[in-house]
Homo-oligomer: A and B are copies of this chain.
């Protein structure tokens, strides 16, 4: 049975980390909120699920997936749940935990990238917090982003199974999330990310290898891959791109 992925239509957002895992594994899934309302899909279907008072494990927010009767929310928990079936995580419990740890750290930088354009919160438009965003983006571009990327570079470098992956000797969902992180940072801060990534050659090689995986490459060329835009987590406001 196909998985149901529930995420806001129109943006990549955090749903993209789940979508990439499903796509890279060739797993059948329905992208519910992007489907036709006439077929019981679309955003109303997502909202119905969120409001369903019969769920004993209700998600707080999208993304969430339905796998038969199981409903799972929180990006890192979804990936942790899916990965053994999708063969996107090592079998050892120790490496599963390490993969989760890497994913949670990627999630932290994603949150900070988001907050760089919305430091005062999502109840205000970007246009209503531009000076504050500039101050926060400065710290992100000059300190936080390089620090996170250096940490990821070190992990690849120190991987006992070789520097082709973040964890172990095979593709994991952490590699896919790293790919998406780099895509997002390059879109958001072309100059600042370019400078930081020039110091992380192994990450760039890993990013290129993930992009060239046949299933990932086919997905990226398809209409299922939404373009970045200024409604998502990664937004390009040139004035925030501090070289």
A residues at B contact (CB < 8 Å): 53, 55-60, 70, 72-74, 76-77, 80-81, 94, 97-98, 100-101, 104-105, 108, 111, 115, 119-124, 132, 135-136, 139-140, 143-144, 148, 151, 154-155, 158-160
Contact = CB atoms under 8 A, between A and B. Distances in A.
Contacts of A105: 60, 73-74
A159 B120 contact: no
Nearest to A106: B60
B120 A60 contact: no
A56 B143 contact: no
Contacts of A59: 101
Given A97-B72, A120-B135, A136-B121, A148 B60 contact: yes
A151 B151 CA distance: 34
Contacts of A160: 56
A55 B122 CA distance: 38
Please report whether the interface of chain A is mostly helix, strand, loop or mixed according to DSSP: helix
Contact of A101 (B55, B56, B77): B77
Contact of A57 (B77, B98, B119, B148): B98
Contact of A58 (B56, B58, B143, B158): B158
Contact of A123 (B60, B108, B115, B139): B139
Given A58-B151, A120-B136, 20 more contacts: A56-B159, A57-B98, A58-B155, A60-B105, A60-B108, A60-B151, A72-B98, A72-B101, A73-B101, A76-B100, A77-B104, A80-B97, A80-B100, A119-B119, A119-B120, A120-B135, A122-B139, A124-B135, A124-B139, A132-B132
A81 to B, nearest CB: 5
Contacts of A124: 135, 139
**Most interface-central of A105, A120, A123 (chain B CB within 10 A):** A120
Nearest to A84: B93
14 contacts: A60-B108, A60-B151, A72-B97, A72-B101, A73-B105, A74-B100, A77-B97, A77-B100, A77-B104, A80-B97, A119-B121, A120-B139, A121-B135, A121-B136
